[in-house]
Amino acid sequence: MRQFWWVNHKQTFNQEIEHQYLWSPKTSANGARNRFYDNMRAANPGDLVLSYAHQLIRYLGRVADFAFTAPKPSEFGSTGSYWNNEGWLLPVFWTRLDPPIRPRDLLPLIGPLLPEKYSPLQPETGNGNQGVYLAAIPREIYDVVRAHTHVDDVRLETGGANRLSFGTVKDELDDRVEATLRADLTLDDTTRTATIQARRGQGTFRSNVEKIEKSCRLTGITNSALLIASHIMPWRSCETAAQRLDGANGLLLTPDADLLFDRGFISFEDSGDVRGSPRFAPDDLRRLGLGEHAWKQLGFSEAPMPWLAQGFSDGQRGYLSYHRKAVYIT
């Protein structure tokens, strides 16, 4: 079911509209959970977002993909200097409204529809609530806004499909990290080369993974030509060269399993049991032949293939804990 959202993003409006995304830290500055940041992970592809900044709603966005872990965008500059560097990036395709909407002018219609808790606006004044980022709103508010403006529906529903795919955005983020590594004078040439090769599961990183892992954790395939050395903590999220090269931060997976794991549609328990995302179509999991532990939890009684869980090492468990919290889609 399509959800509707409202984002207050005065500070980062220009950057997020230009580059077609939303970005937030994962927690508040004191480390506490934040409902508006958690909402980044609750958004689904196809959801619609009203962009509010400088007293106006100027853009309507369509969520293009699930949010994923990503460093704070470099184009933010000094904006949000107190935010943590790692956060959630939500790809959103933005379409301009004509004319823009001033919510204060529609307050008699919008005010009674605002949620009592976590409202993006003050119902008495129409001003944005400070501290609110991405807030859920009822469809009725969206309908009021749409009734007073025009948007190119075809462009809204079909634009940005390739530009905002997970793979494309991930490659752009990884390119930025790689450029930083190439300019890092604290790394010797050998470490720099090995760290950059690790981005694609090659070189020293793959050798280190193969010292620990001998087959795909899902299929049992041992043919190295069919296996990808996949980072558990994403390469772009690692803080040091040591993490990017650590064999414990890797698994050998077939291409399908690698994509599912990298995207967060599956993860692993410390015991080795696979965890399937409830936001990935169960029938598609079954068609991919995932093991019984993954899709019995989703309601199926029989597995298409047996799968035997095997526990992980202490080093791997630390990285898997990160994957379940920051990559796996709940």
Among the listed residues 45, 67, 59, 47, the one whose alpha carbon sits nearest the alpha carbon of residue 9: 59
**Residue 71: strand pairing partners:** 86
Residue at which a domain ends, from 164, 199, 227: 164
My answer on whether 215 and 321 are in the same domain is: yes
pLDDT beyond 80 at 245: yes
List 63's β-bridge partners, or say none.
92
* Cis-peptide into 99, omega within 30 deg: yes
3-class secondary-structure state, position 305? coil
**Residue numbers of the domain that contains 50:** 4-164
Contact 176, 74 (CB under 8 A): yes
Please list the alpha-helical segments (H only) found in 78-165: 107-110, 139-147, 153-158
The answer, yes or no, to whether residue 98 has pLDDT greater than 90, is yes
- In this structure, the answer to whether residues 109 and 199 fall within a common structural domain is no
Q: What is the pLDDT of residues 33-81, one digit of tens each?
A: 999 999 999 999 999 999 999 999 999 999 999 999 999 999 999 998 8
Task: Please tell me the least confidently modeled range out of 227-231, 240-244, 256-260.
Answer: 256-260
Give, in degrees to the nearest 5, the angle at Cα 95 between 175 and 13: 60
More confident site: 36 or 278: 36
Q: Is residue 173 part of a domain?
A: no
Q: Name residues whose C-beta falls within 8 Å of residue 36's C-beta, 6 or more positions apart in sequence.
A: 24, 118, 131, 132, 133, 134, 135
Report pLDDT for 160.
Answer: 86
Does residue 179 sit within a domain?
no
Mean pLDDT calculated for residue range 263-289: 84
Alpha-carbon distance of 144 to 62, in angstroms, equals 17
CA 107 to chain centre: 33
Per-residue pLDDT, 307: 52
Other CB atoms within 10 Å distance of the CB of residue 303: 16
Question: What is the structure's pLDDT at 303?
Answer: 46
> Does 138 share its domain with 78?
yes
pTM score, whole prediction: 0.91
Tell me: the pLDDT tens digits for 184-225?
A: 999 999 999 999 999 999 999 999 999 999 999 888 899 999
Gap between the Cα atoms of 58 and 9, Å rounded: 12
Q: In whole angstroms, what is the distance from residue 188 CA to residue 197 CA?
A: 14
Q: Determine, yes or no, domain membership for 175.
A: no
**In which band, very low, low, confident or very high, does the pLDDT at 305 lie, cut at 50, 70 and 90?**
very low
CATH number of the structural domain spanning residue 92: 3.10.590.10
- pLDDT band at residue 304 under the 50/70/90 scheme: very low
Q: Could you tell me the two tokens for 268?
A: 């692993």
